[in-house]
Structure formats: structure tokens, C-alpha cells
Structure 1
Amino acid sequence: MICEDIMKLKILPPTLRPNNRYLVLDIKSEVKISKEELVSAIWYGCLRLYGELETSSFNLWLMRFYDLNNYSSKNSNSIMDNNFNNEISYYHFKAVLRCQRGFEDNVRGSLALLSNYNNKKIAITTIGISGTIASSIEKFIN
């Protein structure tokens, strides 16, 4: 019993935890991508611009991933081409990305410079930044 009490980890109080910001991303891709591929593309873009040392302090984590191609009635004009075949010109996604406060501009810059991933075109833009996941979804996704 005594050994279990000593081994128990204590939770950090909120004042000692690092502050996070949540970036809402708008992703347009030439091919359909998964959540894992998006995470890989985000890390690739940050590592390419800032290197491993600085990217490690960004504390990146993909919190939410939304595939907007399934909601054709809401976004039918944005994913359909204006030609007669109604071919899909690009795939549209949104995501919520967590990063540490103070590094928001670094992450935004590295994502804006990312244009190709795995020889496919991809465009990632930041719609907005928020302090909580709930407010970021409420303001920028719904």
C-alpha cells in the first residue's frame, strides 16, 4: 500500500500547464486524404521550414478532422466543378490543430508554404485561432 502511494503521479495544476491555441484549418487536396496523411503533411511542412529543434517546441496535435465531401448539400458549389461533367476538382476538409501559445505564426507560415505532399497538390489555410476546442468549432466550423 505504501509503495502505491509513493508511485502515484501528481497532476499539474492549470497554472503550470503550457497554454495552447487551436488553429482551424481549411484543407483542399487533389486526392482524398486521411487524418494520418494530414498529420504527416503538417509535420513535413513544419520540419521543412523550421527543422526538428524548433518544430518540437510547437507541441502539434491534430484534435479534429472533418471530411466535408460527405456533406454535398452544404458544400455542393465548393467541390463541384462548373463544367457539364460535374467532376470533383478538389477534396475539401477542415481540421482543428493544437499548438503551443507563441508559435501560432510559425505553424501558420509553414502550413501556408506547403503546396505539394507526396507529389500531390495540397493547400492548407488557417481560418482562425481560438483558445478552446469548443469555441474554435463553434466559431469557424459550424
Structure 2
Amino acid sequence: MKLKVLPKSQRKHNHYLVLDIKSEEELSKNDFTSIVWDACVRFQGENNTSNFNLWTINLILKDEISFYNEYKAILRCQRDFEDEVRSSLALVNNYNRKSIAISCVGISGTIKGCSKFI
């Protein structure tokens, strides 16, 4: 028997954050995902973070300067929790004893809409 797909009105609604990341160290997608989860758990707690429905969609190396690497990332989170995720990521300032800065450039309801921020 085939599983039924939930109607659109009953699915969780997601928003996509476009992030600008500047790091002294090279990052992989797994490193970035662990940074995001650690920051959210540290600032919001495990119970609240479980509601965020976080997922790293894309991590792109934009520029490699001698002092730091600049990345753009698309991060999925559940609607109505964008502010909590943004505030958690703003508090991250180091990873593996290297400086890192994460700022939110834009928020979109679709991945295609994120392209105007990248």
C-alpha cells in the first residue's frame, strides 16, 4: 500500500536563511552544520532547538582572501523560528580557536528566492 502525502496545509512551513560567513579556517558542510547546531543548543537549549527543523542546504566558498575565507550558506528552518536561529548564530565568534563571523543576509520562503541574496 502506498503512503499518503500530507496536504500542503498540514505540512511544516519552512523558511530559508541566507548567511554570510567569514572564517579564518576552511569549513566543510559538516563543520558548518555542527557550528549551527552547537550555537542553537548552547543559546536556546535542546528542547527549543528541536523545533527549529534545521538543515544546511548549501555552503558555497565565495572568496578566499589571505586573512579569511568568505562563504555563503542557505539554511532551512521552520517558520516563526527565524529570529531565534539568527540570534543564536550571531553569538558565534570562534570555531577550533579560529575567528568566525556569521550574519544573516536575507530570509526567503523558497530556495529559488534565496538566489537574489547570493
Query: Residue 110 of structure 1 corresponds to which residue in structure 2?
Result: 88
Q: Superposition pairs for residues 11-30 of structure 1, below 5 Å?
A: 11-30=5-24
Q: What's the counterpart of residue 72 of structure 2? A: 94
Gaps in structure 1 of 5+ consecutive residues = 71-78, 80-87
Structure 1 SS opposite 2:51: helix
Aligned length: 118
1:130: which partner in 2?
A: 108
Measured after TM superposition, the shift of residue 119 of structure 1 is 1.6
In the alignment, is residue 36 of structure 1 matched against residue 30 of structure 2? Answer: yes
Q: CA RMSD in A?
A: 1.0
TM-score for the superposition, normalised by structure 1:
0.80
2 CA distance for matches of 1:115 and 1:48?
Answer: 13
Tell me which protein shows more helix as a share of its residues.
Answer: 1
Aligned match of 2:52: 58
Identity of aligned residues (%): 54
Shift of 1:103: 0.3
| TM-score of the aligned structures, taking structure 2 as reference length | 0.96
Extract unaligned runs of 5+ from structure 2: none
2:98 partner amino acid: K
Moved over 4 A (4+): none
Task: Please give the alpha-carbon distance, in whole angstroms, between the structure 2 residues aligned to 1:121 and 1:44.
Answer: 16
Give 2:117's aligned residue.
140
**Structure 1 residue aligned with 2:99:** 121
Indicate the structure with greater strand content: 2
| CA distance, structure 2, for counterparts of residue 135 and residue 53 of structure 1 | 30
